[in-house]
């Protein structure tokens, strides 16, 4: 079904994702409608498929971004000051949508281990008046660093939601440590023999107890060391 959700406009793409049940919540649909994928996807922006953005990286298919937000939705409500870390932010598309989800009090940090991709995300966000507004307000920030180690921003390393847009070889302890209690992580991880990958939803409850749920198989670029010079 996911691959049949392409449209001829941002509105049609989002409507198709909603009608197919891939976007389930009206508030998620509203956030997707606020962000024109054409600002972030270089070719056929309203096609529901991944696309190359250079540097051996991709922008994921819209239905995958929808799944990530839906699975973390309980921790994205703008009822308090939300902090979200988007590791492997790439084009910046999901970073922008997450900022729309968390509202005026929230902060979303897009973290990239390749400096050119960090710059690409920020450049793309600047294409729209809304993106520029979020950047100027500090609600979206793009940073360069090793996402496997998490991130410290404004002296804080605790995150309500951690989204990882590349497949990790292991579930890194640094990311678990930086997840708030309560908090949620959406992360693809290599399976036992490193051949296949699965997305895991990691939930930390208010007492710090961790629950791991395998969601579905995927194919992501690896979460690895940056190329030399990046």
If we measure between CA atoms, which residue out of 185, 181, 205, 31 comes closest to residue 102? Answer: 31
- Which residues are catalytic, by number? 60
Over residues 5-19, mean pLDDT: 97
pLDDT class for 220, splitting at 50, 70, 90? Answer: low
At residue 42, the pLDDT reads 87
pLDDT of 221 over the 70 cut: no
Over residues 174-200, mean pLDDT: 84
If we measure between CA atoms, which residue out of 74, 72, 55 comes closest to residue 166? Answer: 55
At residue 195, the pLDDT reads 57
Over residues 217-221, mean pLDDT: 61
At residue 192, the pLDDT reads 65
Over residues 19-45, mean pLDDT: 96
**Strand extents, DSSP E, 95-209:** 107-112, 140-144, 159-164, 179-190, 197-204
Q: What are the phi and psi torsion angles at 204 (to 5°)?
A: -115, 125
Over residues 134-155, mean pLDDT: 95
pLDDT of 228 over the 80 cut: no
Q: Which CATH superfamily is domain 2-218 in?
A: Vaccinia Virus protein VP39 (3.40.50.150)
For the chain, the structural domain boundaries read 2-218
Mean pLDDT of the chain: 90
């Amino acid at each position: 079904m996911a691959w049949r959700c392409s449209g001829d406009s941002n509105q049609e793409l989002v409507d198709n994702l909603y009608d197919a049940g891939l976007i389930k919540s009206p508030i998620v649909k509203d956030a997707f409608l606020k962000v024109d994928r054409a600002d972030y996807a270089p070719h056929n922006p309203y096609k529901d498929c991944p696309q190359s953005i250079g540097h051996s990286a991709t922008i994921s298919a819209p239905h995958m971004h929808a799944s990530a937000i839906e699975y973390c939705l309980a921790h994205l409500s703008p009822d308090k000051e939300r902090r979200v870390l988007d590791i492997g932010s790439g084009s910046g598309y999901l970073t922008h949508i997450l900022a729309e989800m968390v509202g005026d009090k929230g902060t979303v940090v897009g973290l990239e281990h390749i400096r050119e991709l960090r710059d690409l995300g920020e450049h793309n966000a600047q294409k729209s008046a809304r993106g520029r507004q979020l950047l100027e307000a500090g609600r979206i920030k793009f940073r360069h660093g090793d996402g496997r180690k998490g991130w410290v921003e404004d002296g804080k390393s605790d995150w309500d939601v951690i989204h990882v847009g590349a497949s990790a070889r292991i579930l890194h302890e640094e990311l678990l440590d930086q997840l708030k209690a309560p908090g949620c992580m959406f992360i693809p991880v290599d399976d036992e023999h490193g051949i296949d990958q699965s997305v895991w939803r990691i939930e930390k409850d208010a007492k710090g107890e961790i629950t791991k749920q395998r969601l579905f198989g995927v194919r992501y670029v690896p979460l690895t060391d940056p190329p030399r010079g990046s």
